[in-house]
Amino acid sequence: MNIIIDIGHPAHVHLTKHLAHLMEEKGHQVLFTCRQKEFIIQLLEAEGFRYVSFGKKYLTTMKKLWGIVKFDYLLLRTSLKFKPDIFISHGSMYAAQVATLMGKPHISFEDTYNLEQVRLYRPFTDLVLTGDYKHPVVSNRKEFRMAGYHALAYLHPNRFTPDESVLDELGVAKGEKYVIVRFVAWNASHDIGHKGVTMENKIQTVQEFSKFARVFISSEGTLPSIFDKYRLPTNPSRIHHVIAYSSLVFGESSSMAEEAAALGVPSIFINDKSTWYTKDLEYKYGLMYNLTESEEDQQKAIQKGVEILSQTSKQDWMEKTERMLKDKIDVTAFVAWIVENYPESKRVIMNDPNYQYHFR
């Protein structure tokens, strides 16, 4: 079987990397396609994957419209050479549209429920894999709700073991507290209208947290030189090992907040539109905090971070994560079975949603 996995964000590499390795181990051919964004290529190369890059993503509305034509053409040209049997992505309109042109199925992951994006890929998609938490219905005929968060595709205990040597890479001692502060660039289509944490509060965050722990900053955008000494020094491919031994993840990334929860680490997510899965992680499992971008909530977030660093036991959070894991499946094992047995696998799970629990 030939499989194309189209990547639109660095997090999508993590989402699909174990699936790709598993397929390759079984003798299937996997080709990743992507546009250049942040660490995508670095992550693909770190995993040793075969990939084709179609160049930089566009940021303005007019250029994004042109990008649909350009990237569809480039993906189609690549697909005609590779001859895929199936396309996989996280809501990629390009993969969905080209799959239809090729007469092949497209399986999509979904966890942001950005209707602007969903409308562009849904008509051309065979199966949409979502979480089993409360969220908008993507499609009554195509959607299947998995008992798992996307982070469990790569951070489930069956897939990930933290590497303590990352502490040496960070220059911190075993048991020493450190915080990951994550800022995003706010240039994606679903980021319109967001401003994020103010510069004044970014500075205050670093100052306050530094009283209790080492601070490391991970940022999509360019930061002032005053933050240079706080920049995270590790390779991007090591980020989950960094998270695993941290005492707190703080900032504007819902993906990183979710990853922290999967690893038993408290997180604080700042966004006016908290995602459905981060709400579920907070309200059902108490694994994180969702706060808005208002000045009042930004201050609350900083103070909550100080409280966690000064008072919270990490064991308390690990116990919450263990409770969550008992409810969930090994997402990668489940999706691998779907892909290898498609389309019969779709018929099975649509008729018996509980079949997924064979993949705990």
* Same-domain check for residues 133 and 264: no
Task: Examine residue 210 and state whether it is found in any structural domain, yes or no.
Answer: yes
* Same-domain check for residues 172 and 320: yes
Q: What length does the chain have?
A: 360
Closest by Cα among 213, 143, 134 to 178: 213
Range 118-138 average pLDDT: 95
Closest by Cα among 30, 37, 33, 32 to 9: 37
Task: Examine residue 195 and state whether it is found in any structural domain, yes or no.
Answer: yes
Closest by Cα among 305, 312, 310, 311 to 205: 305
Across 57-71, 118-132, 344-358, least confident range: 57-71
Asked if the peptide bond before residue 343 counts as cis, ω within 30 degrees of 0, the response is yes
Quick check: helix, strand or coil at residue 103?
Answer: coil
Give dist(CA 131, CA 281) in Å, integer: 12
Would you say residue 139 has pLDDT above 80? yes
* Same-domain check for residues 316 and 341: no
Give dist(CA 267, CA 181) in Å, integer: 10
* Same-domain check for residues 301 and 349: no
If one compares 28 and 193, the residue with the highest pLDDT of the two is 28
Question: With pLDDT > 70 as the criterion, what percentage of the chain qualifies?
Answer: 96
Start-end of H helices in 34-178? 40-47, 61-82, 93-102, 115-121, 152-155, 166-170
Whichever domain contains 56, its CATH number is 3.40.50.2000
Give dist(CA 224, CA 206) in Å, integer: 13
Task: Examine residue 111 and state whether it is found in any structural domain, yes or no.
Answer: yes
If one compares 12 and 60, the residue with the highest pLDDT of the two is 12
Task: Examine residue 161 and state whether it is found in any structural domain, yes or no.
Answer: no
Range 27-56 average pLDDT: 94
Closest by Cα among 7, 103, 22, 111 to 339: 22
Task: Examine residue 75 and state whether it is found in any structural domain, yes or no.
Answer: yes
Backbone angles phi, psi at 267, to 5 degrees: -140, 155
Across 61-75, 128-142, 181-195, 257-271, least confident range: 181-195
Would you say residue 187 has pLDDT above 60? no
Give dist(CA 22, CA 49) in Å, integer: 12
* Same-domain check for residues 127 and 75: yes
Task: Examine residue 187 and state whether it is found in any structural domain, yes or no.
Answer: yes
What Cα–Cα distance (Å) separates residue 256 from each residue in 22, 99, 261? Answer: 24, 30, 9
- Where in the sequence is the domain holding 298, given as residue range(s)? 166-324
Please tell me the predicted confidence (pLDDT) of residue 185. Answer: 58
* Same-domain check for residues 138 and 178: no
Closest by Cα among 234, 34, 342 to 16: 34
* Same-domain check for residues 229 and 202: yes
Question: With pLDDT > 90 as the criterion, what percentage of the chain qualifies?
Answer: 82
Maximum C-alpha span of the chain: 58
Please tell me the predicted confidence (pLDDT) of residue 193. Answer: 47
- The confidence band for 189, taking pLDDT boundaries of 50, 70 and 90, is very low
If one compares 300 and 65, the residue with the highest pLDDT of the two is 300
Would you say residue 357 has pLDDT above 90? yes
157-179 confidence digits (pLDDT tens): 999 999 999 999 999 999 999 99
Task: Examine residue 319 and state whether it is found in any structural domain, yes or no.
Answer: yes
Would you say residue 188 has pLDDT above 60? no
DSSP label of 57: P
Q: How many domains does the chain have?
A: 2
Q: Which two tokens stand for residue 286?
A: 């108490």
Across 84-88, 234-238, 243-247, 355-359, least confident range: 234-238
Range 345-360 average pLDDT: 97
* Same-domain check for residues 136 and 182: no
Would you say residue 354 has pLDDT above 90? yes
244-293 confidence digits (pLDDT tens): 999 999 999 999 999 999 999 999 999 998 789 999 999 999 999 999 99
* Same-domain check for residues 68 and 151: yes
Range 304-314 average pLDDT: 90
* Same-domain check for residues 139 and 215: no
Please tell me the predicted confidence (pLDDT) of residue 191. Answer: 44
Task: Examine residue 148 and state whether it is found in any structural domain, yes or no.
Answer: yes
Q: Say if strands 127-131 and 143-146 run parallel, antiparallel, or are unpaired.
A: parallel
Would you say residue 208 has pLDDT above 80? yes
Burial 162-189 (b: 16+ CB within 10 A, else e): eeeebbeebebeeeebbbbbbbbeeebe
Q: What is the residue whose two structure tokens read 């940022």?
A: 219
* Same-domain check for residues 68 and 189: no
Backbone angles phi, psi at 262, to 5 degrees: -65, -20
Give dist(CA 164, CA 223) in Å, integer: 29
**Terminal alpha carbon distance of the chain:** 25
Strand ranges (E), the chain: 2-7, 29-36, 51-56, 86-89, 106-109, 127-131, 143-146, 178-183, 214-219, 248-251, 267-270, 288-291
* Same-domain check for residues 337 and 234: no
